[in-house]
Amino acid sequence: MIRENVSLAISSLRANKMRATLTMLGIIIGIMSVITTVIIGDAMAAAVEGDLSVLGTNSIIIGVQERSRYEDDNIDRHLTQLVQPIGVTVRGATPLSEDLISDQMIDDMLILFPDEIDGVSLSHSRGSGIVIDGELEANAIVSGVNTDYLLSNNINLLYGRLIYEVDVQDFAMVAVVSDRLVERMFPCGSDPIGQQIKLFTPNAIEVYTIIGVYEHEDFSFLGTAAREDMPTPFYIPLSTARQDLIEQNFTSITVLGAAGQDIQDLTYRLRDYFDTLYAGNENWRISVTNLESMLNILGDMMGTISLTITLIAAISLLVGGIGVMNIMLVSVTERTKEIGTRKALGAKNSQIKFQFLVEALIIALIGGIIGMFLGVTQGVVMTTIMEVPLIISPVVVVGSMLFATAIGLFFGIYPANKAAKLDPIEALRYE
């Protein structure tokens, strides 16, 4: 019975290839869109999570934040926590020097939490610059850092050494540069360690001695666009970068929790410590967020975005289901005499109903299989172009196929019932 009905359904589809293809189109597009969206969403989330997790889950980001923005405005607190700790002000307001994190605050913090904190990562951005030597040049982002900064960011040193505390104390004119900069400035393969290079910035021309070379890794979601000309970090001692500043306070710092330390508990205690210090500041406060929380927040945001886009794409499946019902109604009308003949020969209503349900199911299944193949293929192509990890969830693929099957059954019930209820005499007389 099943084999015969499947054979009849396939024969019907072959007899009306164009009509069957157009009927399947809505389901194909719907399944393809859902699978592609989920694959890209999962890949982007995994890429961003991987890029952030490199910084270490024991890192706690402490940054100056607008008090009114946090307490009064109706802005998602999660989004604020993601943006503000890195020193970005949403409204464009700029904190005064006394609003920033001072060296004294940092020293007092280290005294208060001697066993819970392994170090404090400090940095100061000097903006962009260009390393030039004759016709050779390389773009750079100049950052003054301390030793803890390079350790906390898991810099993969290829050769040479990192910036030591003595370099910071001596205002040394030394630099740790990327392997990409070395490739551009030393194309012949000569040893860059100990070599001097000229850094051209908007305000000065400075000469630095290369003491170390690290492996530069682009963020996964950046893709390959303009990689050759993309600037790479150019690390110099923190004191050297800040020596011209009158006020040397920080917009943000990163605290490194000690091994085995409960980072969430330390985060709460540091938040209480800075809340006490900023209790009298009417305009600014301190945000304290650990990377584990940020990863969870980011995962929730990416999940919500993917779900929203998936629901929008699922509308195509609804349209496809309506198309299946429409074409099955047409099929019932066209095959009225056939139905009458089968009933006259003894076919039961349940057998007629089953015949048309199988046909609707076959249409939905074929459309689902094609949509699944196209969705996975498109997901593979997109993730390859974006250079993000490919993640294909079996749950999504199987779920999409089951949903397509459900669409076929649901929208095939009415036409099948209509066919089953036809009067055999009237059906035989139908012209």
3-state helix/strand/coil string of 339-406 = HHHHHHCCCCHHHHHHHHHHHHHHHHHHHHHHHHHHHHHHHHHHHHHHCCCCCCCHHHHHHHHHHHHH
User: Domain total for the chain?
Assistant: 2
Given 225, 249, 273, the domain boundary residue is 249
333 inside domain = yes
Q: What pTM did the predictor assign?
A: 0.61
pLDDT, average across residues 403-425:
78
106 inside domain = no
84 inside domain = no
pLDDT, average across residues 347-359:
78
Indicate if 205 and 311 belong to the same structural domain.
no
Distance in angstroms between the alpha carbons of the first and the last residue of the chain: 29
C-beta of residue 211 within 8 angstroms of C-beta of residue 182: no
Top pLDDT among 157 and 423 is at 157
Please give the Cα distance from 57 to 75 (Å, whole number). 26
- Cα four-point dihedral sign 271, 277, 280, 283: negative
Pairing of strands 174-178, 59-66: unpaired
pLDDT per position as a tens digit, 72-131: 444 444 444 444 444 444 455 788 888 899 889 999 999 999 888 988 999 998 889 999
C-beta of residue 68 within 8 angstroms of C-beta of residue 285: no
Looking at residue 172, its pLDDT comes to 94
C-beta of residue 107 within 8 angstroms of C-beta of residue 136: no
94 inside domain = no
What CA–CA distances, in Å, run from 335 to 2, 276, 326, 362, 423? 20, 82, 14, 18, 13
Given 227, 249, 271, the domain boundary residue is 249
Span of 136-140, 157-161, 358-362 with lowest mean pLDDT: 358-362
Please give the Cα distance from 339 to 355 (Å, whole number). 10
Indicate if 241 and 316 belong to the same structural domain.
no
Given 231, 249, 267, the domain boundary residue is 249
Looking at residue 366, its pLDDT comes to 86
> What is the rounded radius of gyration, in angstroms, for the C-alpha atoms of the chain?
32
255 inside domain = no
Indicate if 320 and 424 belong to the same structural domain.
yes
Indicate if 133 and 241 belong to the same structural domain.
yes
Looking at residue 55, its pLDDT comes to 57
Top pLDDT among 121 and 41 is at 121
What is the pLDDT confidence band of residue 228, given thresholds at 50, 70 and 90? low
Please give the Cα distance from 191 to 181 (Å, whole number). 13
Q: What is the chain's mean pLDDT, rounded?
A: 80
414 inside domain = yes
Looking at residue 212, its pLDDT comes to 94
Top pLDDT among 202 and 56 is at 202
Top pLDDT among 36 and 351 is at 36
What is the pLDDT confidence band of residue 179, given thresholds at 50, 70 and 90? very high
pLDDT, average across residues 352-373:
83
Looking at residue 83, its pLDDT comes to 44
Residue in this structure with the two tokens 């303009």, named with its chain if needed:
226
Domain range for 410: 2-50+305-428
285 inside domain = no
Q: 101 is written with which tokens?
A: 């994190």
The highest-confidence range among 66-70, 147-151, 288-292, 408-412, by mean pLDDT, is 147-151
Please give the Cα distance from 317 to 298 (Å, whole number). 29
96 inside domain = no
Q: Which helix or strand (DSSP H or E) is residue 302 part of?
A: helix 291-334
Q: 215 is written with which tokens?
A: 């492996």
Please give the Cα distance from 91 to 287 (Å, whole number). 16
pLDDT per position as a tens digit, 240-257: 998 877 667 888 899 988
- Cα four-point dihedral sign 87, 174, 217, 221: positive
| pLDDT above 70: residue 223 | no
